[in-house]
A and B are shown apart, each in its own frame.
Chain A
Amino acid sequence: MLIKKPADIRPSEITSEQNYLDRRTFIRAGALFGGSILAPSAMSAVVPDKRGAKLADIGKSPFSTDEAPNSFEDITTYNNYYEFGTGKSDPYENAQEFDPLPWTIAVEGHAEKTGTFDFADFIKPFDLEERIYRMRCVEAWSMVIPWVGVSLAEVVKHFKPTSKAKYVAFETLNDRTRMPGIRRGSLDWPYREGLTIAEATNPLPILAVGLYGQVLPNQNGAPIRLVVPWKYGFKGIKGIVRMRFTEERPETSWNMAQAREYGFYANVNPNVDHPRWSQARERRIGAGLFASKQPTLMYNGYGDEVAHLYKGLDLRRNF
């Protein structure tokens, strides 16, 4: 049986005659507007969908250290990214096949703006900046890394957290078909991390999308990862798919695995040892076979910027 539906909405009701007559002007205006989006501007971070592609319009930062950065090779072959295996070279070896895009980031919880955003749209409103930071791993080694990223404080403000938001929680992609390390179950997936709102709105932390002026390599947490230079490296969660504003302190992966050894704060602190090894000194990667370890600095040398965040806090208990 043929059911004929009456044409109850006439085309003229959708597009008025005046608009119809002005259609060429409308299209021209649209093209101009589109052009203005695509053209490079100060407030528009763009990350090309191509491995190793150069990033454009990168600003400099006064927070960058003038220490010599580690080689691209050291930074991209010696990683902890358990989703791709627990060995130091595993992420380099196992993340080559991984294709991060398309990628979405869900913003949830106590904020005015929430929703699921495509990676490109997520970072578009912000400025790309180079930040050359020291990175101190909890395993007592360190590097100097020229990240490219956007200020986490700007990102947090953009989503307008409400007064209930006391923490920002992050989650890594949990895809066992694309991340071979997940099948081995060394941690409770997905990988979780979090910061207090005060920490997240400090000017130092960034969401990195690049390294050495290029698109962030997979093994370093592509397409987007957290960098918090005064905390141990494991706080710098990689492959972020979720960002949640919470009232309660979020669960964090290494704390869940070994609460006695890894705290929520995980601030670099030479005076509080890991139960199984000393944190007083660190080995700078790339310094050579016969270089001695160097003393670890309180807050990894970023005390001027962050020490006030922990005033009155017992750092021995809140490690």
Chain B
Amino acid sequence: MDTLTQVRRIWKPIVFLLCLVPALLIVTDAFELTGRLGANPVEEIQDRFGIWALRFIMITLAVTPLRRVTGWNWLARFRRMFGLFTFFYVLMHFLAWLILDQGVLLSAILEDIVERPFITIGFVALLLLTALAATSTNAMRRRLGRRWQTLHNATYVIAVLGVWHYWWQVKQDITEPLIYASVLAVLLGARVWWQWQRRRKQAIAYGS
């Protein structure tokens, strides 16, 4: 088997199952089989899905820089899967809030989305992410052509909104949001740096 076949046949299914583990643990913890959700399970479920959503968007954004640094081009094969898992965890985070926390009480939900800025930005991030998930198929990619990349650059915006959403709801201790903000700064910073390097090289090549 060549590397790409190996990735598709063996590694992709394994990584797919691994990505599901955090979600499965929430379910098994809820039944107290593997652990516990603690005194406030509703909050715990929302927090865990939210944190994993942030982790998955960081993992998604790490694919390209890691590929560049290591030269492992097969990493690109996992990017869409990680992106879709980001969407999955954000959606579960949203549904946990909608159903368990708010009890599908429409007035409270609308009030929260409109009046609480940290919920507003979280909701905007979810809408953007839904658009990216819907256009993630090969067929959509072909149909959208060059506009596909422009649309999918929204990933960067979503990541910033996600960290901001987390930062804004913390009461006082910003240590954890700061960690995510730092990782995101490195991942986005690397792209800015490479972009700048490329422009400079081009400038030198054209002698201007």
Q: Which residues of A contact B (CB under 8 A)?
A: 70, 73-74, 77-78, 82, 86, 88-89, 139, 141, 184, 186-187, 257-258, 273, 276-278, 280-281, 283, 285-286, 289-290, 292-293
Contact = CB atoms under 8 A, between A and B. Distances in A.
Nearest to A257: B172
B42 A74 contact: no
B40 A78 contact: yes
A281 B38 CA distance: 21
A interface secondary structure, majority: loop
Main secondary structure of the interface of B (DSSP, over half): helix
Contact of A141 (B40, B45, B115): B40
23 contacts: A74-B39, A78-B40, A86-B171, A86-B172, A86-B173, A139-B171, A184-B173, A184-B175, A186-B173, A258-B172, A273-B115, A278-B108, A278-B112, A278-B115, A278-B116, A280-B108, A283-B43, A283-B101, A285-B40, A289-B30, A292-B103, A293-B101, A293-B102
Nearest 9 interchain pairs by C-beta: A78-B39, A86-B173, A292-B103, A74-B39, A186-B173, A285-B39, A289-B41, A186-B172, A285-B40
A278 B116 CA distance: 8
Interface string B42-55: 11010000000000
A88 B103 contact: no
Nearest to A71: B39
A9 to B, nearest CB: 62
B18 to A, nearest CB: 26
B111 interface: yes
A77 B43 CA distance: 14
Nearest to B100: A289
A133 to B, nearest CB: 17
Interface of B: 30, 38-43, 45, 100-103, 105, 108, 111-112, 115-118, 168-169, 171-173, 175
Contacts of A292: 103, 105
Contact of A286 (B39, B43, B169): B39
Nearest to B47: A88
Nearest to B44: A88
A156 B40 CA distance: 36
Contacts of B111: 278
Contact of A276 (B38, B169, B173, B175): B169
Contacts of A141: 40, 43
B38 A77 contact: yes
Contacts of B168: 276
A293 B105 CA distance: 10
A187 B112 CA distance: 28
A281 B175 contact: no
B68 to A, nearest CB: 36
Contact of A290 (B100, B115, B118, B169): B100
A141 B46 CA distance: 15
Nearest to B170: A86
B108 A281 contact: yes
A156 B193 CA distance: 64
A276 B118 contact: yes
Nearest to A254: B172
Contact of B38 (A70, A89, A283, A293): A89
A184 B176 CA distance: 12
B72 to A, nearest CB: 36
A286 B101 CA distance: 14
